[in-house]
Structure 1
Amino acid sequence: MPPRVIKAHHIHVKSHKLSILLSGFPPATSIGELKAETLSALKSDVAPDALDVMAMEPPEIDVETEQDFELCRAVKDKGKPTGAFEVLNAASTIRDAGLSAWEVLFLQFRDRATGDLLPITYTLPPLYDEGDEPPQPQVSSPNKGKRKAPPEDEERM
């Protein structure tokens, strides 16, 4: 019997221009544990001046506890995001929430004064650098790669 492949989930958490990759979690991991790992990543002091070098403004993220934010998933219709988000229950597991192995989640912060959820803010990275130009579309003939049947002679029959 071949060895059993252990399924691991790699969760990509996004907010503003910030991306956090949570890697190697089994399906039985709770969403609360993912929130704890996300909080640890948000509070860590990794490359403190890295954003200044790339001329990016650091996002204003003010979190102290796991209650200051929620993990949300984009609602999709026929595989395309609709612009709506659903908050994941912290007590459920990755399997129960139906997350895929390479799921993208979004951070939704809470207003500390009211406790209400703020709108989700994120920026998708550009496909091309500012100096690069997108590749020109290739023009090809519509018959390329197709053979035409020789004209049939009506006299043969």
Structure 2
Amino acid sequence: MPPRPAKVYHILVKSHKLSIMLHGQLPTTTVAELKNQVLSALTSNVASDALDIAAMDPPEVDVQAEDDFELCRPIKEKGKAAATFEILEPQKILRECGIGGWEPLFLQFRDPGTGQLSPVQYTLPSMLDEEDEPQAPPEGKGKRKAPAGLDEDDLDI
């Protein structure tokens, strides 16, 4: 049985290390309306003067209008996302594009000088945190008999 179409779409738009969450999108929303929302998010200064001093630098892109970028989705081969991307047509609605309810989309920016699309750039988050790396078990630790001549009072527990 094919999966039911989503009643509401939650779309994650990614570029570099930046993620934009567009939630509550109806299936009748056009790609052009999504681009308008992405442009609004890219041009807003919500992250300026963030408290996190280790925050990433913003990507070096100059976005002034919806024509400065395209929304695209990865072309899936054998169920896995490939390194090739398909540009979404602005006049199509989400249902016609075949986008899933939680599918990530990617930004492809235009070069201001030539007008050519630059390749998609994004960084996948690591699955393991640096702090959560498994530690090697200490050597020489284990159960062994207590040395002879010790009383229970001599043992610190």
TM-score (norm 1): 0.78
1:112-144 per-position Cα deviation (integer Å, ceiling 9, x unaligned): 1111000110001111222221599xxxxxxxx
**Aligned residue identity for 1:16:** H
1:3-57 per-position Cα deviation (integer Å, ceiling 9, x unaligned): xxx8110110000000000010110000000000000000011021338622423
1:60 deviation in Å?
A: 1.3
Distance 1:69 1:25 in 2: 20
Matched, 1:49 2:49: yes
Q: Secondary structure at the match of 1:124?
A: coil
Q: Secondary structure at the match of 1:96?
A: helix
Q: Which runs of 4+ in 1 moved over 3 A?
A: none
Change (3 A) 1:95 1:55: closer
Matched, 1:63 2:56: no
Aligned residue pairs, count:
131
Distance 2:112 2:40 in 1: 19
Matched, 1:36 2:36: yes
What residue ranges of structure 1 are gaps of 5+ in the alignment? Answer: 1-5, 137-157
Correspondence for 2:18: 18
What residue ranges of structure 2 are gaps of 5+ in the alignment? Answer: 1-5, 137-157
Distance 2:31 2:60 in 1: 24
> What percentage of aligned pairs have identical amino acids?
56
Correspondence for 2:79: 79
Correspondence for 1:127: 127
Structure possessing the higher radius of gyration over alpha carbons = 2
Distance 1:129 1:85 in 2: 29
Q: Secondary structure at the match of 2:86?
A: strand
